[in-house]
Every structure is written in C-alpha cells, then in structure tokens.
Amino acid sequence: MEKDILILSPEDSPEQVLDDKGLVKAYHLVGAAEGSLDMDQTVVRMADGGRLTLDRAACDLVIFVESGSCALEVEGEAHTLGPDTIVFLPPRHGAALCARGDAKFLFIRSPEYAEENDAPLRIVSMYDVEPYAPGGHADTANRYLIGPEFGCRYFEIILGIFGNTGTAHTHSHPWVQASYMLEGVNLNITNGVTKRTFPGELKYIPGDVVHQSFGESEVTKFLLFYAPPRRNFGK
C-alpha cells in the first residue's frame, strides 16, 4: 500500500485540559500513533494567567511561541518570550510557562533517552537567524533553528519561507518530514494527489514518499521538521 501525506489540524483533535482552572488546553497533532516515532507535536493554547509546569523527563523539548507572550521560568531564572520565539529545553531542566494574555504554542517532544545531554538552553527569535538558499528549491529562504549542534538529538527544525514562485522540486528521502503552516497556502503533490495546507495545520510526510511542494501565496511560511536529523540518519 502506498504511503501518503497526512494533513492534521488541532480542530480535529480532542481537547485536553492541562490545569485545574481550565486555562491551559492541548490538542495533539502527530506522534507514534501516526507513525512519528522520533517526535510528538501538540498545540497548546493558554488563556491570560494560565500556568503550565513542565515535568522534565529525559527528553528533548522545543517550544515555539506562535502568538501572544509568556514568561518562561527555567531553573529559577525568568525569560520573556514573544511571538516567533523558539526554545530548546534540554533534558532534566525544570521549567514553567506563564501566559501574559492569550497565547498559542507548538510543543515538539522527543522520546525519552538514557544518555547524558549537557546542552545549554537555547532561546532564539526565528528571524534573527541568517537565511540560506536550500538545494533542490526555487525562490526559497530557510533558517536553521534547532538541531544536533544545539543538543537536540531526535529532530531538527527549520523556518522555511517561499516567495510567490517558491518550489520544493520533486524528491524523496528516508527520514520523516513535517511542516507546520504559519502563513499563506502550501500546495502539495504526492502520489499524483494534490492537497493544500493552511495556517495552523501540520503536513506529515512519511519517509521515502515522493513529494513536491509549491507556495500559492505572495509569501508562504512554515516550520519544517526532519526526524531523525538528516545528518544522523542511519547512525
């Protein structure tokens, strides 16, 4: 049977309430049940005053602030996070998020692992990272945000931006790929089937699936995930 891409939306996921005041709610997007063994992705919405304590197991955790702002408390130190900020929280770091107004986040979590990881906390504004032109693309600027060189072992994260002629040419690869849409419309062709992805949706592509992608807006922005990291594949 041919594998195909999945288009996943938090609106199609059961709501989970994560606090006793009903201010923090989660919506699962992708994980082991969908075939994603190296990363689990969940949208979290927090109302003003919401607080989420992160019980830190031995795993990699990345938090993307899609909208709103919050305070991140890590090991007794407070950091203010605004929109378009991405955080890599290494294993065994105790942390808490406190919303300042309504806020929306994307959480990306790896499986637990036993190895030591002494990587530092990484907090970066996506647009402060230098762009580059990826091979096999046209009218595309990427920014490399999270990956093995920052201590993240199970996946890597890139900000992708298509211009109005942005294209990822037909290709395949053995690792899983996912794209979380931020702005614009993305057209995807897989196995001769055309699908579109809109802001707030996640496109999940299993390994070895031939695919092609186009921007259908003046600007199309998305977070791009590879799992495992491409440079670690097969190790």
* Distances 179 to 47, 100, 152 between C-alpha atoms, Å: 26, 27, 18
Per-residue confidence (pLDDT) for residue 1, from 0 to 100? 45
Under a CB-based contact definition with an 8 Å cutoff, are residues 167 and 138 in contact?
yes
CATH number of 12-125: 2.60.120.10
pLDDT score recorded for residue 97: 94
Confidence at residue 56, expressed as pLDDT on a 0 to 100 scale: 67
Domain range list for the chain: 12-125, 127-232
Whole-prediction pTM:
0.93
Q: Do 12-125 and 127-232 show the same overall fold?
A: yes
Q: What's the N-to-C CA distance of the chain in angstroms?
A: 28
pLDDT of residue 131: 96
Q: What is the model's pLDDT at position 235? A: 35
What mean pLDDT do residues 175-196 have? 92
Which CATH number describes the domain made up of 127-232? 2.60.120.10
pLDDT tens-digit readout, 66-125: 999 999 999 889 999 999 999 999 887 778 999 999 999 999 999 888 777 888 999 999
What is the structure's pLDDT at 58? 79
The stretch 14-39 carries a mean pLDDT of 92
The CB density around residue 34, as the number of other CB atoms within 10 Å, is 18
Looking at residue 2, what is its pLDDT? 56
